[in-house]
Amino acid sequence: MAASDIRPLPFGSLVTAMVTPFTADGAVDFDATAALAVRLVEDGCDGLVVSGTTGETSTLEDQEKEDLFRVVAEAVGGRAKVIAGTGTNHTSHSVEMAQRAQRAGADAQLVVTPYYNKPTQAGVLAHFDAVAAASDLPIMIYDIPGRTGIPISTETMIRLADNPKILALKDAKADYAAVTRVLANTALDVYAGDDGLTLPWMAAGAVGVVSVSAHVATVQFRSLVDALAAGDLAMARKIHFELDPVVRAVMTHIPGAISAKHILRMQGVLANSVVRLPLVEPTAVEMEPVLADLAEAGWDFSAGTTR
Protein backbone atom coordinates (compact mmCIF):
# COMPACT_ATOMS: atom_id res chain seq x y z
CA MET A 1 0.00 0.00 0.00
CA ALA A 2 1.37 3.39 -0.96
CA ALA A 3 1.80 6.01 1.74
CA SER A 4 -0.73 8.18 -0.08
CA ASP A 5 -3.35 5.42 0.32
CA ILE A 6 -3.11 5.35 4.09
CA ARG A 7 -6.03 7.16 5.70
CA PRO A 8 -4.93 9.47 8.52
CA LEU A 9 -6.33 8.41 11.87
CA PRO A 10 -7.78 11.24 13.99
CA PHE A 11 -6.80 9.43 17.21
CA GLY A 12 -3.61 7.63 16.15
CA SER A 13 -3.06 3.86 16.17
CA LEU A 14 -0.89 3.24 19.24
CA VAL A 15 -2.52 5.24 22.01
CA THR A 16 -1.23 5.04 25.57
CA ALA A 17 -3.70 5.81 28.34
CA MET A 18 -1.23 7.86 30.38
CA VAL A 19 -0.70 7.65 34.10
CA THR A 20 -0.67 10.97 35.93
CA PRO A 21 2.66 11.41 37.74
CA PHE A 22 2.46 12.92 41.21
CA THR A 23 5.05 14.50 43.45
CA ALA A 24 5.98 12.82 46.72
CA ASP A 25 3.28 14.83 48.50
CA GLY A 26 0.57 13.89 46.00
CA ALA A 27 0.40 17.01 43.81
CA VAL A 28 0.25 16.64 40.04
CA ASP A 29 3.80 16.65 38.67
CA PHE A 30 3.37 18.55 35.43
CA ASP A 31 7.06 18.41 34.51
CA ALA A 32 7.12 14.64 34.88
CA THR A 33 3.89 14.42 32.88
CA ALA A 34 5.40 16.37 29.98
CA ALA A 35 8.57 14.28 30.08
CA LEU A 36 6.58 11.03 30.07
CA ALA A 37 4.48 12.23 27.14
CA VAL A 38 7.59 13.08 25.14
CA ARG A 39 9.16 9.71 25.93
CA LEU A 40 6.06 7.81 24.86
CA VAL A 41 5.82 9.69 21.58
CA GLU A 42 9.51 9.29 20.83
CA ASP A 43 9.16 5.54 21.44
CA GLY A 44 6.25 5.18 19.02
CA CYS A 45 2.94 6.44 20.38
CA ASP A 46 0.93 8.59 18.00
CA GLY A 47 -1.86 9.21 20.49
CA LEU A 48 -2.08 9.81 24.24
CA VAL A 49 -5.12 9.72 26.51
CA VAL A 50 -4.75 12.27 29.29
CA SER A 51 -6.85 11.93 32.47
CA GLY A 52 -8.44 8.63 31.63
CA THR A 53 -8.99 5.76 34.05
CA THR A 54 -5.27 4.99 34.22
CA GLY A 55 -4.62 8.70 34.74
CA GLU A 56 -6.67 8.50 37.95
CA THR A 57 -9.23 10.88 36.55
CA SER A 58 -11.64 10.12 39.41
CA THR A 59 -9.29 11.82 41.89
CA LEU A 60 -8.24 14.78 39.74
CA GLU A 61 -9.80 18.21 40.13
CA ASP A 62 -11.24 19.86 37.03
CA GLN A 63 -8.51 22.50 36.90
CA GLU A 64 -5.83 19.81 37.27
CA LYS A 65 -7.34 18.02 34.28
CA GLU A 66 -7.45 21.15 32.15
CA ASP A 67 -3.86 21.94 33.07
CA LEU A 68 -2.82 18.39 32.20
CA PHE A 69 -4.48 18.65 28.79
CA ARG A 70 -2.60 21.90 28.16
CA VAL A 71 0.78 20.61 29.37
CA VAL A 72 0.64 17.48 27.22
CA ALA A 73 -0.60 19.41 24.18
CA GLU A 74 2.30 21.83 24.56
CA ALA A 75 4.77 18.95 24.98
CA VAL A 76 3.76 16.74 22.04
CA GLY A 77 1.20 18.71 20.03
CA GLY A 78 1.67 18.14 16.33
CA ARG A 79 3.55 14.89 16.91
CA ALA A 80 0.75 12.88 18.52
CA LYS A 81 -2.97 13.24 19.11
CA VAL A 82 -3.82 14.49 22.59
CA ILE A 83 -7.07 12.83 23.66
CA ALA A 84 -8.63 14.37 26.73
CA GLY A 85 -10.54 12.16 29.13
CA THR A 86 -13.63 14.30 29.62
CA GLY A 87 -16.38 11.82 30.42
CA THR A 88 -18.20 11.69 33.75
CA ASN A 89 -21.57 10.32 34.85
CA HIS A 90 -22.98 13.86 34.96
CA THR A 91 -23.82 15.13 31.48
CA SER A 92 -23.47 18.85 32.16
CA HIS A 93 -20.14 18.20 33.88
CA SER A 94 -18.96 16.23 30.84
CA VAL A 95 -20.06 19.12 28.64
CA GLU A 96 -17.98 21.51 30.75
CA MET A 97 -14.94 19.24 30.56
CA ALA A 98 -15.29 18.96 26.78
CA GLN A 99 -15.17 22.74 26.55
CA ARG A 100 -12.19 22.91 28.91
CA ALA A 101 -10.35 20.31 26.80
CA GLN A 102 -10.91 22.30 23.62
CA ARG A 103 -9.71 25.47 25.34
CA ALA A 104 -6.58 23.66 26.54
CA GLY A 105 -5.60 22.55 23.05
CA ALA A 106 -6.61 18.87 23.03
CA ASP A 107 -7.16 17.24 19.64
CA ALA A 108 -9.99 14.93 20.68
CA GLN A 109 -11.79 13.51 23.68
CA LEU A 110 -12.43 10.12 25.23
CA VAL A 111 -15.94 9.94 26.68
CA VAL A 112 -16.92 7.01 28.87
CA THR A 113 -20.40 5.60 29.27
CA PRO A 114 -22.11 7.28 32.25
CA TYR A 115 -21.23 5.14 35.25
CA TYR A 116 -23.15 4.30 38.42
CA ASN A 117 -26.41 5.92 37.20
CA LYS A 118 -27.21 2.95 34.92
CA PRO A 119 -29.21 4.97 32.36
CA THR A 120 -31.32 3.33 29.67
CA GLN A 121 -29.89 3.08 26.17
CA ALA A 122 -31.94 6.16 25.27
CA GLY A 123 -30.17 8.00 28.09
CA VAL A 124 -26.78 6.78 26.88
CA LEU A 125 -27.55 8.04 23.40
CA ALA A 126 -28.73 11.44 24.67
CA HIS A 127 -25.66 11.79 26.92
CA PHE A 128 -23.17 11.26 24.11
CA ASP A 129 -25.09 13.49 21.72
CA ALA A 130 -25.07 16.29 24.31
CA VAL A 131 -21.32 16.01 24.88
CA ALA A 132 -20.67 15.89 21.14
CA ALA A 133 -22.64 19.10 20.63
CA ALA A 134 -20.67 20.96 23.31
CA SER A 135 -17.36 21.37 21.46
CA ASP A 136 -15.62 20.90 18.15
CA LEU A 137 -13.56 17.96 19.44
CA PRO A 138 -14.12 14.55 17.85
CA ILE A 139 -15.13 11.81 20.25
CA MET A 140 -13.85 8.33 20.97
CA ILE A 141 -16.52 6.51 22.95
CA TYR A 142 -15.28 4.30 25.77
CA ASP A 143 -17.42 1.19 26.35
CA ILE A 144 -16.26 -0.55 29.55
CA PRO A 145 -19.21 -2.13 31.35
CA GLY A 146 -16.97 -3.70 34.00
CA ARG A 147 -16.41 -0.20 35.38
CA THR A 148 -19.57 1.64 34.34
CA GLY A 149 -22.15 -1.01 35.22
CA ILE A 150 -23.79 -1.07 31.78
CA PRO A 151 -22.70 -1.89 28.24
CA ILE A 152 -23.50 0.20 25.21
CA SER A 153 -25.73 -2.05 23.12
CA THR A 154 -24.61 -2.73 19.58
CA GLU A 155 -27.76 -1.08 18.25
CA THR A 156 -27.03 2.08 20.27
CA MET A 157 -23.42 2.10 19.08
CA ILE A 158 -24.54 1.89 15.46
CA ARG A 159 -26.92 4.82 16.03
CA LEU A 160 -24.20 6.86 17.73
CA ALA A 161 -21.99 6.35 14.69
CA ASP A 162 -24.38 8.60 12.75
CA ASN A 163 -23.23 11.57 14.84
CA PRO A 164 -20.54 13.32 12.74
CA LYS A 165 -18.43 14.09 15.82
CA ILE A 166 -18.37 10.50 17.09
CA LEU A 167 -15.56 8.90 15.13
CA ALA A 168 -14.17 6.08 17.23
CA LEU A 169 -14.87 3.40 19.82
CA LYS A 170 -12.56 2.09 22.51
CA ASP A 171 -14.07 -1.32 23.11
CA ALA A 172 -13.30 -2.87 26.50
CA LYS A 173 -16.07 -5.40 26.94
CA ALA A 174 -14.29 -8.32 25.23
CA ASP A 175 -17.31 -9.21 23.09
CA TYR A 176 -15.92 -10.21 19.70
CA ALA A 177 -19.33 -10.71 18.12
CA ALA A 178 -20.47 -7.24 19.19
CA VAL A 179 -17.33 -5.50 17.95
CA THR A 180 -17.62 -7.40 14.66
CA ARG A 181 -21.11 -6.01 14.15
CA VAL A 182 -19.90 -2.48 14.87
CA LEU A 183 -17.03 -2.88 12.41
CA ALA A 184 -19.35 -4.31 9.76
CA ASN A 185 -22.09 -1.71 10.14
CA THR A 186 -20.31 1.59 10.87
CA ALA A 187 -17.35 3.64 9.71
CA LEU A 188 -16.08 4.04 13.26
CA ASP A 189 -12.39 3.61 14.01
CA VAL A 190 -12.43 0.82 16.58
CA TYR A 191 -9.66 0.39 19.15
CA ALA A 192 -8.93 -2.56 21.38
CA GLY A 193 -9.52 -1.43 24.94
CA ASP A 194 -7.93 -4.58 26.37
CA ASP A 195 -4.20 -4.80 25.72
CA GLY A 196 -4.26 -8.56 25.22
CA LEU A 197 -6.95 -8.35 22.53
CA THR A 198 -5.02 -6.07 20.17
CA LEU A 199 -4.29 -8.92 17.75
CA PRO A 200 -7.81 -10.33 17.33
CA TRP A 201 -9.48 -6.91 17.33
CA MET A 202 -7.12 -5.55 14.65
CA ALA A 203 -7.41 -8.78 12.66
CA ALA A 204 -11.14 -8.06 12.47
CA GLY A 205 -10.58 -4.49 11.31
CA ALA A 206 -9.81 -2.36 14.36
CA VAL A 207 -7.25 0.37 13.70
CA GLY A 208 -5.23 0.17 16.91
CA VAL A 209 -5.17 -0.09 20.68
CA VAL A 210 -5.62 2.20 23.66
CA SER A 211 -3.12 0.61 25.99
CA VAL A 212 -1.86 0.73 29.55
CA SER A 213 0.93 -1.80 29.06
CA ALA A 214 2.36 0.33 26.27
CA HIS A 215 3.76 2.60 28.99
CA VAL A 216 6.41 -0.01 29.75
CA ALA A 217 6.71 -1.75 26.34
CA THR A 218 6.07 1.04 23.87
CA VAL A 219 8.44 -0.15 21.15
CA GLN A 220 7.02 -3.67 21.21
CA PHE A 221 3.44 -2.43 20.98
CA ARG A 222 4.41 -0.15 18.10
CA SER A 223 5.83 -3.17 16.30
CA LEU A 224 2.67 -5.19 17.01
CA VAL A 225 0.34 -2.51 15.68
CA ASP A 226 2.50 -1.94 12.61
CA ALA A 227 2.71 -5.65 11.84
CA LEU A 228 -1.07 -5.98 12.01
CA ALA A 229 -1.62 -2.88 9.89
CA ALA A 230 0.72 -4.38 7.30
CA GLY A 231 -1.10 -7.72 7.37
CA ASP A 232 1.93 -9.58 8.72
CA LEU A 233 0.05 -11.97 10.98
CA ALA A 234 3.04 -14.24 11.62
CA MET A 235 5.11 -11.36 13.00
CA ALA A 236 2.14 -9.99 14.93
CA ARG A 237 1.54 -13.38 16.53
CA LYS A 238 5.19 -13.59 17.58
CA ILE A 239 5.09 -10.15 19.21
CA HIS A 240 1.72 -10.91 20.79
CA PHE A 241 3.15 -13.97 22.52
CA GLU A 242 6.22 -12.03 23.67
CA LEU A 243 4.00 -9.31 25.13
CA ASP A 244 1.60 -11.69 26.87
CA PRO A 245 3.49 -11.90 30.21
CA VAL A 246 4.04 -8.12 30.19
CA VAL A 247 0.31 -7.52 29.70
CA ARG A 248 -0.45 -9.98 32.50
CA ALA A 249 2.00 -8.19 34.78
CA VAL A 250 0.45 -4.79 34.16
CA MET A 251 -3.21 -5.66 33.87
CA THR A 252 -4.21 -8.72 35.90
CA HIS A 253 -2.92 -8.54 39.47
CA ILE A 254 -3.36 -4.97 40.74
CA PRO A 255 -4.99 -1.89 39.16
CA GLY A 256 -3.23 -0.80 35.98
CA ALA A 257 -2.51 2.70 37.25
CA ILE A 258 -0.61 1.21 40.19
CA SER A 259 1.29 -1.44 38.26
CA ALA A 260 2.21 0.90 35.40
CA LYS A 261 3.57 3.54 37.77
CA HIS A 262 5.47 0.96 39.78
CA ILE A 263 7.11 -0.57 36.70
CA LEU A 264 7.90 2.87 35.28
CA ARG A 265 9.63 3.68 38.54
CA MET A 266 11.60 0.44 38.34
CA GLN A 267 12.57 1.34 34.78
CA GLY A 268 13.83 4.72 35.97
CA VAL A 269 11.21 6.63 34.01
CA LEU A 270 9.32 8.02 37.02
CA ALA A 271 10.89 9.27 40.24
CA ASN A 272 8.17 7.63 42.33
CA SER A 273 5.04 5.51 42.04
CA VAL A 274 2.72 7.68 44.14
CA VAL A 275 -1.01 7.20 43.59
CA ARG A 276 -3.97 8.97 45.15
CA LEU A 277 -6.41 7.38 47.55
CA PRO A 278 -8.37 5.20 47.32
CA LEU A 279 -5.52 3.63 45.32
CA VAL A 280 -2.46 2.68 47.36
CA GLU A 281 0.96 1.42 46.39
CA PRO A 282 1.40 -2.35 46.29
CA THR A 283 2.84 -4.49 49.04
CA ALA A 284 5.73 -6.85 48.42
CA VAL A 285 3.29 -9.78 48.40
CA GLU A 286 1.08 -8.07 45.80
CA MET A 287 4.12 -7.43 43.62
CA GLU A 288 5.28 -11.04 43.60
CA PRO A 289 3.09 -12.20 40.69
CA VAL A 290 3.81 -8.97 38.80
CA LEU A 291 7.55 -9.60 39.07
CA ALA A 292 7.08 -13.25 38.16
CA ASP A 293 5.29 -12.31 34.95
CA LEU A 294 7.96 -9.75 34.10
CA ALA A 295 10.64 -12.37 34.73
CA GLU A 296 8.83 -14.68 32.31
CA ALA A 297 9.15 -11.87 29.75
CA GLY A 298 12.88 -11.69 30.49
CA TRP A 299 12.68 -8.57 32.63
CA ASP A 300 14.56 -8.94 35.92
CA PHE A 301 13.34 -6.56 38.61
CA SER A 302 13.77 -9.05 41.43
CA ALA A 303 15.92 -6.85 43.69
CA GLY A 304 14.76 -3.69 45.43
CA THR A 305 11.55 -3.32 43.50
CA THR A 306 8.91 -2.94 46.21
CA ARG A 307 8.31 -0.38 48.90
- Look at 303 and 8; give whichever has higher pLDDT: 8
Q: What is the mean pLDDT of residues 244-264?
A: 98
Catalytic residue among 65, 81, 170, 261: 170
pLDDT digits (tens, 9 = 90+) for 212-231: 999 999 999 999 999 999 99
In this prediction, residue 7 carries a pLDDT of 67
Catalytic residue among 65, 142, 191, 261: 142
pLDDT digits (tens, 9 = 90+) for 100-119: 999 999 999 999 999 999 99
In this prediction, residue 8 carries a pLDDT of 79
Residue 278: cis peptide before it, omega within 30 degrees of 0: yes
pLDDT digits (tens, 9 = 90+) for 40-72: 999 999 999 999 999 999 999 999 999 999 999
pLDDT digits (tens, 9 = 90+) for 76-107: 999 999 999 999 999 999 999 999 999 999 99
Residue 307 has pLDDT above 60, yes or no: no
pLDDT digits (tens, 9 = 90+) for 140-190: 999 999 999 999 999 999 999 999 999 999 999 999 999 999 999 999 999
Is residue 142 among the annotated active site residues? yes
In this prediction, residue 300 carries a pLDDT of 83
Residue 306 has pLDDT above 50, yes or no: no
Neighbours of 302 (CB within 10 A): 10
Q: What is the mean pLDDT of residues 6-31?
A: 94
